[in-house]
Structure 1
Amino acid sequence: MEDKKELTKDLLTTSFKELIMQIPFEKITIKMITDGAGVIRPTFYKHFQDKYEILEWILKKELADKIQILIDNDMEEDIFRLLCNCLEKDKELYKKLYAIEGPNSFDELMHHFIFNMLTSLKNKYPLKSSGELEIFPSEVMLRFYTFGLTGSLKHWIVHDSSYSAEQVCDAYNYIIHNSILELIDLPDSKS
């Protein structure tokens, strides 16, 4: 029974993806989605409350579930690479999803997903102790990284960047291991 439920959700999601590639999100109707999936309208509401919930399903199935496997297997070093590869694989789809505006937008969902993922990593592993870090709540640090990651990923997808997922991962690794002050050529301080 659970397999049939998931199959139906996947059919509806596939129909939605085909539609979003052709027409703007706000013009997609539930009837259009169900017609494309070959099901009746009440079937949609057995699986999703609205078309925004399909965005949550896409994020869960295509990104979150895959990343959770890495976390469960202590392979956290590969999370960002997998995330970039998944986004690159369906770059045109994600570009359309990022164009959706409003409080239930894909951008908002991605922000919550990344924040929750970073929070679970912080809870799984202790923070390195540092006197300087103790003056800031860990939530401040998590929000800083969340805004940086979500903004960078969105910019990469939306602005037709020619960088590959591999190049984005390499840049990310370089940036998180170097402060901005190490990256710029500051003039020598004069006493």
Structure 2
Amino acid sequence: MEDKRELTKDLLTMSFKELVMQMPFEKITIKMITDGAGVIRPTFYKHFQDKYEVIEWILKKDIADKIQVLTDNNMEEDIFRLLCSCLEKDREFYKRLYLIEGPNSFEALLSRYIFDMFLSLLNKYPLKSPDKVAILSKDSMARFYTFGLADSLKYWITHDIPYSSDQLYEAYSYIIRNSILNLIEFPGSRI
């Protein structure tokens, strides 16, 4: 029974993805999604409340579940590379999802997911120098990194930046391991 439920969700998701590639999100109706999946309208509501919940499901299946495998195996250092790879694999689709606005948009969902991921890491492992960031809560540290990463990913996808996910991973890894002061060569510096 669970396999059938999963298959139906997959059919609805595939139909939704095809429609997103053909028209703006706002014009997509539940009937269009169910017609594309070959099911009746009430079937949609057995699995999803609305189109936004389909986006949540896609984020879970295409990205979050894969990243969870890394987390479960203490391979967190590979999370960002996998995240970039997942977005790159279906880049045009995610570019269209980024056009959706509002509190349940893909951008908002991905930002919440990234925030939860960072907060989870901060709670799972001890800080290297806790005294240096004692005045900051783990929540504020997770927000700081979330803003930078979420915005960088959005910019990369929506502006058709021609770098591969591996190139983005390398550049972003370098940035987060160095402060802005380490990145700048000041005139007349002695270094």
**Fold similarity call, TM over 0.5:** yes
Q: State the one-letter code of the partner of 2:41.
A: R
Q: State the 1:131 CA deviation.
A: 2.4
Please give the TM-score of this superposition, normalised by the length of structure 1. 0.96
Q: 1:63 aligns to what?
A: 63
CA distance in 1, matches of 2:187, 2:82: 39
Q: 1:150 aligns to what?
A: 150
Secondary structure at 2:131 match in 1 = coil
CA distance in 1, matches of 2:25, 2:79: 29
CA distance in 2, matches of 1:137, 1:70: 25
State yes or no: 1:112 paired with 2:112.
yes
State yes or no: 1:167 paired with 2:167.
yes
CA distance in 1, matches of 2:74, 2:132: 28
Aligned runs of 1:33-72 on 2, under 5 Å?
A: 33-72=33-72
State yes or no: 1:182 paired with 2:182.
yes
Aligned residues between the structures: 189
Q: State the 1:130 CA deviation.
A: 3.5
Gaps of 5+ in 2: none
Q: State the one-letter code of the partner of 1:86.
A: C
Q: State the 1:58 CA deviation.
A: 0.3
CA distance in 2, matches of 1:154, 1:25: 17
Q: State the 1:187 CA deviation.
A: 3.3
Q: State the one-letter code of the partner of 2:3.
A: D
Q: Equivalent pairs: percent with the same residue? A: 71
Please give the TM-score of this superposition, normalised by the length of structure 2. 0.96
Q: State the 1:185 CA deviation.
A: 1.4
CA distance in 2, matches of 1:155, 1:91: 12
CA distance in 2, matches of 1:135, 1:121: 19
Gaps of 5+ in 1: none
Q: State the 1:132 CA deviation.
A: 2.2
Q: State the one-letter code of the partner of 1:90.
A: D
CA distance in 2, matches of 1:73, 1:38: 38
- Give yes or no for contact 2:59–2:110 (8 Å, CA) kept in 1: yes
Q: State the one-letter code of the partner of 1:78.
A: D
Q: State the 1:188 CA deviation.
A: 4.5
CA distance in 2, matches of 1:78, 1:167: 14
- Give yes or no for contact 2:81–2:166 (8 Å, CA) kept in 1: yes
Q: 2:98 aligns to what?
A: 98
State yes or no: 1:78 paired with 2:78.
yes
Q: 1:132 aligns to what?
A: 132
Secondary structure at 1:143 match in 2 = helix
CA distance in 2, matches of 1:96, 1:19: 11
Q: State the one-letter code of the partner of 1:14.
A: M
Q: State the 1:73 CA deviation.
A: 0.5
Q: State the 1:9 CA deviation.
A: 0.5
